[in-house]
Structure 1
Amino acid sequence: MATNPKLEFYCFELAPKNEDEEKTFKDFIIDELGGRRSHSDHQLFIRCYDYFVKQLSGEHAKDDKLKKRVKLEKKNNKHYSKRPSASAENYIISGVINGGPYGRDGLISKSDDDNDNDPLKETNTILSYFYFLAYLPLDYDKGFFMIHSNSNDDSITRVFKGFITKIFKGKYYNTARPSSYCPQIFKDDFKEGAVLGTVQFQNTFVENTFSTNESYYDFGAYDIKIIATPKNKSVPAEAAPGFFEILRKKSFVFRDKNINLEEFEKANYTTKNKKSKTERTFEWNKSDHDFVPVVQLKNRINSFYPDGTPDFVELHQFCIDIFHNEIIGEIRPDSYVAKLI
């Protein structure tokens, strides 16, 4: 069930092993995929597209640590007509793929028959539908992608990020380097006239047993959330990072060990806007040491499927529009200036 569908954005950069060389995606296709200098840009990009789709069935499409994978399933795929396609003139690959967790042992019960079920084997993958848009410019060394997720649990963002950076590794290239990104329009929209709501830290702990009156309970893993709310209700949203800096060195004691809040797995802060009556969330990105706005799709697109997943046709048009109108000018200022001239 898609409880709160959102968009996430990332940039990534090719990493040639010879650091003195500047390599573009065209160079990668020629160096690693058998492209030729005599080929047209259209031919080269289609070669890249074919490689991309083929890799969805390869080793990089699966992450054994996360126990998740991405793939393109044909059988029983009701969105197969929306599978990834290429827009070679725009250097874009976009469409709907499948993904989800595997390695779970259990049963799949049929809601219309209480006496019927099927085994869920550890080799089975529970697949959902996800939309992505990837920008792979032949004349540049930096790419971009955006991907939708349905909730924190129903998400393939991490495995897809690993997939897209690993497939651009080869004989002459190291794994591509990813970085979080958010279009300025969303940052401005979230902060304009907004005040700080809360700062929250969350971490998962494992406790083997808990005893009460000689009774023992196995709780396994559980989440601890620590929420800080300013008494001053008019603190501007821009002050959130400073408040975070104050809190991150505070500690939580677990098994006689002090754990700083900055070591918690997740952190975020919320902002509230009284005029627009909206609440926004910024998530802490540990690798980039920055807060990234969560771009929720509610009120940005109008149509959703019965399970809450966004309508992929409308979502595709929304992503194409913001890419051409907002994103390309930020990630490719050289291209944007050229068009103005």
Structure 2
Amino acid sequence: MNNPESVKLEVFTIALKPVAGYENNSFKDLILNIPGVIPENNLFNEFYQLFINRIDEGYTEVRNKAFTLSTNVQEYGYNVTDEIIWGVLKGGVKGSGKTKSPLNNRETEEDLSGNVINDKYFFYLHLPLESSFGYLFFHIYGGESIRKEFIQHIRDLFSIRGKYNKPEPSAILPDSIRDEFKNNSKVVGLSYLTNTLSSSITTDAEFSNLCKEYSIEISIKPKGVNNIPPGKIGILNRVVSGLTFNNFQLSRAQKRVSLQNLSSKKTSTFELDTNDVMPRIYLEGKVPLDVNGTPNFVNLKLFCDDLLRELVAGQYTRIARI
């Protein structure tokens, strides 16, 4: 059973990467160069059929996970006018010694025996044909997910030898989600992690060798019930990052910040690579979830439709992921 409070939506940009010297750069051109595509037909429809067929042939295996398309034809589709493809994947970790739970009864487990754990994951792709820039939405649970494996599959599909290299998706956050979270949150911790700080603290070789296996963390936390607005995190970071321990600057350490939502009391940790803080898109309260934490995919698709309009208008911020 998945914890409903941990169910999230992640959003990425997908920018095509033409090979040096190749003059074209668009999804239309990429699709025209995919074997089997009939140029005289509607290109978006052609790509949709190819895309669906690729993930509907059986389980796609990437590393220690596998996924395939849902067998429910109501759980995937496309819109030529809006140039979007959406659907539901089933999949997860594979391997002997694990178990899987049927989606209709997660309390009943059966031996995996080399097969795959089947959870359901929603994806949503916007691929404007005349552009080289698209968006991917992917829903995940709190634990294991197939997001990296699905993205790898897309990167492979968007690679054409001699014309397009594999694209590098970048995580982004719609501004409305950022503002909603930051305007109703407090900072509950700021930390700096590194495993090289040990040699700056002491010259004791035994201590330094021991710390090679660990990270040293310096934490800053508000006292009592004091609240630090997220907008003030930049001031703290600029000052603390400038501190030096025997020639080691904390600006070189990995910086993380923990925020607590004042309404839900949910605490989230983010990597701080700028002086800003970026939350995640938690679906609880935004999209109906069943008792197993599985979203209502019809509502999730509508939620993505709304967010897409915001992204197309340029209302988003790039984020660092941890």
Tell me whether the two structures share a fold, i.e. TM-score over 0.5. Answer: yes
Query: Please, which of 148, 157, 163 is the counterpart of residue 153 of structure 2?
Result: 163
Equivalent position of 1:237 in the other structure: 230
Q: Percentage identity across aligned positions?
A: 24
Structure 2: state its 5+ residue gaps: 195-213, 317-322
Query: Please, which of 48, 58, 66 is the counterpart of residue 69 of structure 1?
Result: 66
Equivalent position of 1:328 in the other structure: 312
The amino acid that maps onto 1:157 is R
Equivalent position of 1:149 in the other structure: 140
Identify if the C-alpha distance between structure 1 residues 147 and 118 changes in structure 2 by more than 3 Å, giving closer, same or farther: closer
| TM-superposition CA deviations, 1:196-218 (whole Å, max 9, x none) | 22236799xxxxxxxxxxxxxxx
| TM-superposition CA deviations, 1:228-281 (whole Å, max 9, x none) | 423383422023355456778999xxxxxx9x99777x94521444xx565563
Identify if the C-alpha distance between structure 1 residues 188 and 310 changes in structure 2 by more than 3 Å, giving closer, same or farther: same
Does 27-36 or 85-94 show the bigger shift? Answer: 27-36
Taking structure 2 as the reference length, the TM-score comes to 0.73
| TM-superposition CA deviations, 1:28-70 (whole Å, max 9, x none) | 011224446544xxx1011111221223257994321xx2222
1:119 aligns with 2:121: no
Identify if the C-alpha distance between structure 1 residues 261 and 162 changes in structure 2 by more than 3 Å, giving closer, same or farther: farther
Taking structure 1 as the reference length, the TM-score comes to 0.70
Q: Distance in 1 between matches of 2:128 and 2:166?
A: 17
Identify if the C-alpha distance between structure 1 residues 70 and 128 changes in structure 2 by more than 3 Å, giving closer, same or farther: same
Q: Distance in 1 between matches of 2:96 and 2:126?
A: 34
Q: Distance in 2 between matches of 1:225 and 1:71?
A: 41
The amino acid that maps onto 1:281 is S
Shift of 1:157: 2.0
Q: Distance in 2 between matches of 1:12 and 1:109?
A: 33
1:99 aligns with 2:88: no
Q: RMSD across aligned C-alpha pairs, in angstroms? A: 4.1
Note if contact 1:280-1:294 (Cα within 8 Å) is conserved in structure 2.
no
1:2 aligns with 2:19: no
Identify if the C-alpha distance between structure 1 residues 306 and 234 changes in structure 2 by more than 3 Å, giving closer, same or farther: closer
1:135 aligns with 2:137: no
Shift of 1:156: 2.1
Equivalent position of 1:186 in the other structure: 177
SS in 1 for 2:270: strand
Q: Show structure 1 runs of 4+ deviating over 6 A.
A: 222-226, 245-251, 260-264
Equivalent position of 1:317 in the other structure: 302
Shift of 1:295: 0.8
User: Matched residue pairs, number?
Assistant: 289
Identify if the C-alpha distance between structure 1 residues 56 and 108 changes in structure 2 by more than 3 Å, giving closer, same or farther: closer
SS in 2 for 1:90: coil
Shift of 1:8: 0.6
The amino acid that maps onto 1:327 is L
Equivalent position of 2:279 in the other structure: 293
Note if contact 2:100-2:118 (Cα within 8 Å) is conserved in structure 1.
no
Shift of 1:308: 1.9
Note if contact 1:60-1:162 (Cα within 8 Å) is conserved in structure 2.
no
Structure 1: state its 5+ residue gaps: 75-79, 204-221, 252-257, 333-341
